[in-house]
Amino acid sequence: MLTDKNVVVTGGTGSLGKVLVRRLLTGEVGRPRKITVFSRDEAKQHEMRLSYQHRRAATDEVIYHNFEQVLQFRIGDVRDLHSVSTVLRDADIVFNAAALKQVPSCEYFPFEAVQTNIIGAENIVRAIREHHLPVKTVVGISTDKACKPVNVMGMTKAVQERIFVRANLDATATRFICVRYGNVLASRGSVIPLFHEQIRRGGPLTITTAEMTRFLLSLEQAVDTIFAALAGANPGETYIPRVPSARVVDIAEALIGDRQIETKITGIRPGEKVHEILVSEEEAHRTTAREDYYVIVPMLPELVTAKVESPLEKEYSSNDILMSKGELSELLKKHNLMVEDRLELSEDVLA
């Protein structure tokens, strides 16, 4: 699929971006000619470059031969059309992982979210359209929060999805597709690292509401979804993984185990949903199962190539099929997320 292709990963130094780059380098979907990590944080790029060179520390000379490597790094910002145009000029495949994704940050700085999540996506489309760039596929990476959005992060991601879907009408030589998934297990800012820290301190574990449920997805499964969309999506389609879910109180109970630690209900936070939703009831009639995924067919009639076979009858929610406590414990053990006497976790624990 990607053999001898030039690949660009925007936001490639983030948690997902790093796992995506590592998987691309294995050659499981073909061996790219070049992989370019495009982001604005030079420190994160430096750390990532050193990790691939198996070095703990180095001075600036490590950058000297950057453009001779398969894995290259380029400083830039999706907010800037000029830098986007430059990095995409010889790209075949683009994975757009650049995002402002922390819900509270986006609430306090909504226009910053607009600039990255909406204008950034539009800049990718503009660069391809206005410069007639030979990009074959753009994969937009979205979130469950874009489905029936109640916060700025979700609102901006919902608009990003529509920008990419609609781009198929203007830049017909490029296939624009999306993936949408929920919170990633043990990712930065998620509930499991919080529970780990609260257990270390002796509790209590804080739960916003006893009814809350969440999908349980690993970074590897997120990348699996991206690769599945790359292989099988038609222009304008959105791929969604079918993954297990659980009650947050059951997650807390599994992590506590035999410890005498209390749980405390604190009340739902602004912009937070009781259940995650990956397909809304409005989208269900144009959503179908395809292998291990649900696929949302685009809303625009010009992009619909065939009738949706066996559409969903209702929304797809984290409250639909919940794991038993035994199944949940096994899943947490599988991903090394159970709390031991001494536990050291990084943000890439599932990488």
Asked whether residue 342 carries a pLDDT value surpassing 60, the answer given is no
Helix (H, G, I), strand (E, B) or coil at 288: strand
β-pairing, 6-10 with 93-96? parallel
Predicted pLDDT of residue 193: 87
Computed over every residue of the chain, the mean pLDDT equals: 91
**Average pLDDT of the residues in 171-189:** 88
Q: How far apart are CA 179 and CA 164, in angstroms?
A: 11
Asked whether residue 184 carries a pLDDT value surpassing 90, the answer given is no
Asked whether residue 57 carries a pLDDT value surpassing 50, the answer given is yes
Provide DSSP, 319-331: TSSBPPHHHHHHH
Helix (H, G, I), strand (E, B) or coil at 225: helix
Helix (H, G, I), strand (E, B) or coil at 255: helix
pLDDT band for 271, please (50, 70, 90 cuts). confident
Predicted pLDDT of residue 60: 65
Q: How far apart are CA 129 and CA 167, in angstroms?
A: 9
Residues facing 288 on adjacent strands = 295
Q: Which H helix or E strand runs over 221?
A: helix 219-232
pLDDT in tens, 295-330: 999 999 999 988 899 999 999 999 998 999 999 999
Residue ranges covered by each domain of the chain: 6-334
Q: What is the DSSP letter of 343?
A: -
In order of 103, 148, 206, 272, the CA distances from 275 in angstroms are 16, 11, 17, 9
Q: How far apart are CA 125 and CA 264, in angstroms?
A: 47
Among the listed residues 101, 145, 157, 273, the single catalytic one is: 145
Predicted pLDDT of residue 335: 87
pLDDT band for 181, please (50, 70, 90 cuts). very high
Contact by Cβ (8 Å): 234, 227? no
Asked whether residue 343 carries a pLDDT value surpassing 50, the answer given is no
145 belongs to the catalytic site: yes
Helix (H, G, I), strand (E, B) or coil at 247: strand
Q: What is the DSSP letter of 307?
A: P
Which residue, 84, 103, 198, is CA-closest to 144?
103
Global confidence as pTM: 0.90
Asked whether residue 196 carries a pLDDT value surpassing 70, the answer given is yes
**Average pLDDT of the residues in 97-117:** 95
Predicted pLDDT of residue 64: 65
Asked whether residue 195 carries a pLDDT value surpassing 60, the answer given is yes
Predicted pLDDT of residue 199: 94
pLDDT band for 65, please (50, 70, 90 cuts). low
Looking at 1.20.58.220, 3.30.70.2740, 3.30.1020.10, 3.40.50.720, the CATH number of the domain 6-334 comes to: 3.40.50.720
- 6, with CB counted inside 10 A (0-12, 13-18, 19+), is buried
Q: How far apart are CA 182 and CA 344, in angstroms?
A: 24
Predicted pLDDT of residue 58: 65
Predicted pLDDT of residue 62: 65
Q: Which residue has the higher pLDDT, 1 or 186?
A: 1
Predicted pLDDT of residue 188: 66
CB-side neighbour CA atoms (13 Å) of 149: 18
pLDDT band for 113, please (50, 70, 90 cuts). very high
Asked whether residue 186 carries a pLDDT value surpassing 90, the answer given is no
Asked whether residue 148 carries a pLDDT value surpassing 60, the answer given is yes
Predicted pLDDT of residue 351: 36
Asked whether residue 350 carries a pLDDT value surpassing 70, the answer given is no
In order of 6, 48, 124, 165, 250, the CA distances from 171 in angstroms are 19, 33, 11, 11, 47
Helix (H, G, I), strand (E, B) or coil at 305: coil
pLDDT band for 61, please (50, 70, 90 cuts). low
Q: How far apart are CA 315 and CA 154, in angstroms?
A: 17
